[in-house]
Each structure stands twice: as C-alpha cells, then as structure tokens.
C-alpha cells in the first residue's frame, strides 16, 4: 500500500515541511521548542545558501535551510541523511559563513548576532556511548565547563535514538520528533496531533495534494534517499576498511558515482575504481 504522507527525510519532504514560505510557521514552531526564551522566534526570512558551494556528495547526503529571525539571529537547519566524513568538522566550518557575512565595512566593533546550527540526523554518532540521549546541545566552554561564548550553538538530534511511543510523549518537542519519525507510516492524523500547526503539517505532507510535477520531484527525491540508505549500511564503522569496501561494492552495483562513494566511505577514488574493475 502506498504511503499517504511524504517521507520527511527526503530533500523534497524536508523542504516542503520546513523550507517554504507557506510552511514557515511550522519551522518557527519547531525551532522555538529548542531555543532559550530570549531567542524565541516571531518571524523568519529564508536566506539563499548558494555561497556555500557544497560538494556533490554533501548535496545528496545533506539538505539545509538557511534563515534569519527578526532580530538578526542566524539559523542553519539541516536534514542529514548519512554520515559523511568529518561531519562534525563540516558543521563547524559551515557556521563560519553566517559569522563572516556579519562583517561590516569600515569601523566595526565585531559584535555578532547569535548563530544556531540545528541538525536532524538520520544516523547516530559516537556509537560507543549506548546511553547517549537523542538531543545534544554543544557550546564552546572553558576548562571549568563554563560557557565561554553563548552566541554559537550546535544542536544535534539523532533520530534513531528517539524511541518514544505515543503514550510516552512528554513535550511539544517530543511530538515534533514523533511526527517526523513516523509521518510516512501514518494513515490518519492521530489524536495527539489535533493542533493547528500539526494539522497544517499533515495537509502539506499529503501526497494526494501534489500536482504531477511535485509528485515526480518527490518520487525522484525518495529514490535518492532509498539508494543512499542502501549504500550506507547501519553496521558501517568508520576506520574499518573492510566495511568501507563492502559498502563501496554495494554502491557500485547500484550505479552510484565513484566520487560520492569516496566521500561516504573514506576510500580513495583510486581504491573505489579498483573495486569497480
């Protein structure tokens, strides 16, 4: 049976729910569950991230939305479908762009507006920490664990670690994660989502409302997502070349580009080409 609602882990699905003007209130509500009271968002404007120049592999593995609130606070909201090499380094690097764009010509006192990087991850990191919570808040701190700089914050949401059932949902944020994790499986709107913002989310996500072009775009996006999930097996552990080679062979059979396989597995392009031969 075909799904009634979109898969929000696809580029199309995530953008439809959070990256379009018509759905901006959904993104505002979602982010406000994560932010401290002093940074509560009233309105957002979307920014064009074209200056980032992401590599081909990153564009397939990560979909990002760049926005700014009415006070000038900057937000990078990402859906990361697969763990590429050095993904923590990448998160830090990409926050340098909204830092640098705040530089003013002439006399400037270096005062910066806050920057938040919010990443919804369809994988886990630091796998050796079995009891690690699904929500990680990261800030720059000193040796006494005191916050050194409070205007740069990284929020990682590891969706595989979110295992709450409907009766265990304790907060509005829990509801958002449950909505994202199970949206594609719902046949009807559950009673817990009888709120305006969630009802609108279900309306936006209903595949029957798409025109032919939107449907084609979604199906292509869903295929990319499924191919990617087939390539990046959850048993893959960084640093184990045999596992990397196994994933690379699987990707080659699916016709995935060699440079993309290299980015995901850490194998060199020449190593991947040898496997193809």
Which of the given ranges, 37-46, 61-70, 84-93, 193-202, has the highest pLDDT on average? 193-202
* Two tokens, residue 245: 């080679």
Q: Which residues face 75 on adjacent strands? A: 67, 116
In this prediction the pTM is 0.80
Query: Which of 157-161, 193-197, 252-256 has the weakest average pLDDT?
Result: 252-256
Residues 1, 189: Cα–Cα separation, whole Å: 17
Please list the residues that pair with 5 across neighbouring strands: 206
Joined tokens for residue 28: 């505002």
Residues 62, 240: Cα–Cα separation, whole Å: 23
- Provide CB contacts within 8 A for 216, sequence distance 6+: none
Q: With a cut of 50, say whether residue 233 has pLDDT above it.
A: no
Query: Which helix (H) or strand (E) covers residue 120, if one does?
Result: strand 115-121
């Amino acid at each position: 049976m075909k799904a009634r609602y979109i898969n929000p882990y696809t580029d199309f699905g995530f953008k439809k729910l959070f990256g379009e003007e018509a759905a901006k209130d959904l993104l505002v509500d979602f982010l406000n569950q994560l932010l401290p009271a002093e940074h509560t968002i009233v309105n957002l404007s979307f920014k064009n991230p074209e200056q980032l120049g992401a590599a081909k592999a990153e564009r397939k593995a990560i979909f990002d939305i760049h926005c700014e609130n009415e006070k000038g606070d900057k937000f990078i909201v990402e859906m990361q479908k697969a763990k590429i090499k050095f993904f923590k380094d990448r998160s830090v690097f990409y926050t340098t762009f909204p830092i640098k764009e705040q530089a003013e010509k002439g006399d400037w006192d270096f005062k910066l507006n806050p920057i938040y990087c919010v990443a919804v991850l369809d994988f886990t990191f630091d796998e050796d920490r079995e009891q690690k919570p699904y929500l990680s808040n990261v800030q720059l701190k000193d040796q006494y664990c005191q916050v050194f700089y409070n205007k740069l914050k990284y929020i990682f949401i590891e969706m595989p670690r979110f295992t709450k059932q409907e009766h265990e949902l304790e907060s509005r944020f829990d509801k958002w994660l449950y909505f994202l994790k199970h949206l594609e499986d719902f046949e009807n709107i559950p009673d817990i989502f009888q709120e305006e913002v969630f009802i609108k989310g279900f309306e936006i996500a209903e595949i029957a409302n798409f025109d032919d072009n939107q449907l084609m775009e979604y199906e292509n996006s869903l295929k990319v997502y499924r191919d990617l999930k087939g390539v990046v097996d959850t048993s893959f552990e960084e640093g184990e070349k045999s596992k990397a080679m196994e994933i690379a062979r699987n990707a080659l059979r699916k016709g995935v580009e060699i440079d993309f396989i290299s980015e995901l597995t850490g194998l060199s392009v020449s190593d991947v080409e040898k496997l193809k031969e």
